[in-house]
Amino acid sequence: MRRRRSTSRNTGGASKSGCGRCCRCGAPQAEALREWALAWVLDGYQNHDPDVLASWVTEDFVQDDPLNLGRFVQGREAFRQVMVETFIAFPDCAFVATGPFCLGMDGETLVVPWRTFGNFSGPLAWGPPGQRKSFAPTHRRFDFEGCDFYRFRDGKVASLRSLYDPLQVAEQLAMIPNRQGVVMRIAPYVQGVAASLPLIRG
């Protein structure tokens, strides 16, 4: 008699001998994931509490954000300070998920699509860490979408990479000229003249 081959699959859930909390002891699963999402989104972002957000990242946490102009925010305290500055600049900002939270097959990466909106009502520290400049509030409204890529380690966020259009954000906040405005329409001509000058070329 031939032995029947088992049809059960390892879906990444914790076994009785595992930690009972995560897949590969990396990303939080099921109940733990819901616990993290509620704390991160509701207690942290929606309540504008940088301490809650900082408590859910590792000590060596790394953040990659388009508005940091290619520089990383490194460390829990540095991330906390960025969130303090964010909530000062945008005191009424809100974050909402625009789709399901998608867990990667590596069991360590979580992808979250989102939308954020609010008003630029306070001073904004903008730029790479160590070179941040303060921008006065323009009291302009912003509303844009993006996507976050979280990588977990031991139930906490070890890295966060955000993807969105930084030019769209800067335009909405009136920090740069509108791409459809007069300044941007004549910019190519000005650049062409400047590029033809020997001083600029050399």
Q: What is the arithmetic mean of pLDDT over 130-149? A: 91
Residue 165: inside a domain:
yes
Domain CATH for 29: 3.10.450.50
Q: Helix, strand or coil for residue 147? A: strand
Say yes or no to pLDDT of 120 above 70: yes
Q: Which residues, 6+ apart, have CB-to-CB distance to 101 below 8 Å?
A: 33, 37, 110, 111, 112
pLDDT on residue 20? 43
Q: How many domains does the chain have?
A: 1
Residue 7: inside a domain:
no
pLDDT on residue 108? 85
Whether the Cβ atoms of residue 117 and residue 134 lie closer than 8 Å to each other = no
Residue 49: inside a domain:
yes
pLDDT on residue 104? 86
Say yes or no to pLDDT of 109 above 70: yes
d(CA 198, CA 90): 44
Residue 78: inside a domain:
yes
Q: Which of 97, 90, 84 is nearest to 37 (CA)?
A: 97
pLDDT bracket for residue 16 (50, 70, 90): very low
Domain containing 54: what range? 22-201
pLDDT on residue 183? 52
Residue 2: inside a domain:
no
